[in-house]
Amino acid sequence: MATTTSSETSAAAREECDSFMAGLRKRNPGETEFHQAVEDVTESLMPFLLDNPKYQEARILERLTEPDRIIIFRVSWLDDSGRYRVNRGYRVQCNNAIGPYKGGLRFHPSVNLSILKFLAFEQTLKNSLTTLPMGGGKGGANFNPKGKSDNEVMRFCQSFMTELAKHIGKDIDVPAGDIGVGEREIGYLFGHYVRIAHEFTGAMTGKGIPFGGSLIRKEATGYGCVYFVEEMLNRKGDSIQGKSCLVSGSGNVALYTIEKINHLGGKAVTASDSDGFIYDPEGIQDERLEYLMELKSRHRGRVFEYAEKFGCEYFEGKRPWGVPADAAFPSATQNEINEADAQTLVRNGIMVVAEGANMPSESAAVRVFLDARILYAPGKASNAGGVTVSGLEQTQNSLRLSWTRGEVDTKLQAIMKDIHAKCVKYGEEGDWVNYVQGANLGGFVRVADAMLAYGVV
Ligand code: NDP
Ligand code: 2IT
């Protein structure tokens, strides 16, 4: 048998990867976020694919990056002054080899096909890591809920669901929240679904507790991310106790990340929104965290108001990555850490970076973290807690019963522990774990093996 050296393997892998990416770019022109997500995954998978030719022969990567279908639709609605408004709605159904499509809806002016395709692709691998029966999808609209009245948001959601309802269902595709889609939006969307589908089924998750929602779902992404970090640190004989933590964002993921950091004895010192960040060296805890939660969830306020209230610093137009700390939890949006930010974090001695957001680190930033061999968890592993509890919400809906907070939290912790173990299994390199490699391989193999079993589909 011919033997190849590792440099020959990596040269061959590079060549395969470049040729695959050239084709993908040509088939999907201008979709930069989609290219980025696929390239990051392809680079880490390619040596494994070359060692296991059955996946290449069956063109698994080509098939995984060609969504099963994409639905694009017009969403017309009337604003409070009676004017006609038009937005574009989407649902990307990426892959259902291991379960019904599952993934959130994002309402943000930046939403486009590239962003939703990257999110649906990542979701497919993430959902596989959870071990639950969930395929991958993502949707949303270029609608900006900011500054809209509740009635405007309701009219938009109802119009959006009028079309989306034709394409979802508890065994078909089960949407949930993401940026700009929280409790209020899910209520309007699901309420309209129940009305027009003429049946009450768990066709969405993240629902309110009175109508089939799961306890711990709203906390799940943030809590899960911190549980994941605790696993990473425990493996090194350390813990989050006493660690100073940078958190970006101040939405669903960020707020419950901060809460769980506090529960485990760490100290979260930053939070942000798209206007800037606050730095509170005392720690965002107790009545300070309560204030921030109230400010963001009920009053839809801005983080600078926190700085005014508690007399701490506010940095307009800046991100928190220049503040020296032990751990970072990017929890706002994609590409919020660039190469220079990553270098600053490493220079300041960051021990662990865990992504609450999807793809918050640019590819060059990821390379900085990997080269520095810090503990770096990519979003598809560390933020999988949200979709995990969504999966548990689906189970409770099918069983027609509700588990207690304790029951759901215990299952969430067990699944985050299991995802961590899977990353270690596939990503261990000497005494360091390449969590990127671990998460990509761990997520890929299950979906790929299902696709192999299905034959030509
Ligand atoms: P929210 O809408 O609740 O909060 C989003 C936060 O990020 C806000 O503070 C927002 O600030 C900030 N933000 C959004 N877009 C930008 C931008 N372009 N630039 C700077 N800041 C921005 O969303 P979530 O907390 O639910 O989602 C945050 C991230 O976590 C996303 O990447 C999402 O995909 C990911 N995620 C979410 C899960 C969930 O269950 N919700 C599960 C797994 C991942 P502002 O108010 O100024 O817009
Ligand atoms: O990115 C994500 O995992 C989510 N927005 C949650 C998806 C879900 O179906 O709960």
Residues 53-77: pLDDT tens digits?
999 999 999 999 999 999 999 999 9
DSSP assignment, residue 437? H
Residue from 274, 321, 329 to probe ligand 1 pocket by mutation (most atoms less than 8 Å from CB): 274
Does 218-383 carry CATH code 3.40.50.720?
yes
Q: What pLDDT shows up at residue 6?
A: 65
Asked if 143 and 106 count as a contact pair (C-beta separation under 8 A), the reply is no
Contact (CB, 8 A) for 135 and 96: yes
Cβ of 176 below 6 Å from ligand 2: yes
Q: Which ligand places an atom closest to the C-alpha of 122? A: 2
What does the angle CA 115 – CA 121 – CA 127 come to, to the nearest 5 degrees? 125
Report d(CA 422, CA 401) in Å as an integer.
Answer: 30
C-beta 103 within 6 A of ligand 2: yes
Q: How far is CA 108 from CA 91, 116, 139, 207, 397, in A?
A: 14, 11, 11, 20, 29
Strands (E), 81-135: 84-95, 101-107
Query: Residue 349: what residue type?
Result: G
Distance 19 CA to ligand 1 centre (A): 34
Do domains 69-201 and 218-383 share one topology? The answer is yes
Between the CA of 334 and the centroid of ligand 2 the distance, in Å, is 14
If one residue of 118, 333, 412 were mutated to test the ligand 1 pocket, choosing by the most ligand atoms within 8 A of its CB, it would be 333
Residue 9 has a pLDDT of: 67
Question: Parallel, antiparallel, or unpaired for β 101-107 and 69-78?
Answer: unpaired
Q: Is 377 helix (H, G, I), strand (E, B) or coil?
A: strand
Low-confidence ranges of the chain (pLDDT < 50): 1-3
- Decide: 386 in ligand 2 pocket, CB within 6 A: yes
Which region holds residue 246: left if phi is over 0, alpha if psi is between -120 and 50, else beta?
A: beta
Q: Which residues contact 19 (CB under 8 A, 6 or more apart)?
A: none
Of 252, 186, 267, whose CA–CA distance to 222 is shortest? 252
What 3-state class would DSSP assign to 128? helix
Q: Token pair for residue 148?
A: 């809209």
Torsion of CA 375, 378, 382, 383, to 10 degrees: 150
Let me know: does 49 contact 16? Beta carbons within 8 Å. Answer: yes
Residue 351 CB neighbours (<10 A): 16
| Residues with C-beta less than 6 Å from any ligand 1 atom | 108, 177-180, 182, 221, 249-254, 273-274, 331-333, 356-358, 383, 386
Provide the CATH number for the domain formed by 69-201 in this structure.
3.40.50.10860
Domain spans in the chain, listed from the N-terminal domain onward: 6-65, 69-201, 218-383
> In the structure, how many helices (H) and strands (E) does the chain have?
17, 15
Cα–Cα distance for residue pair 277/270, rounded to 1 Å: 7
pLDDT for residue 299: 84
Spacing, Cα 314 to ligand 1 middle (Å): 19
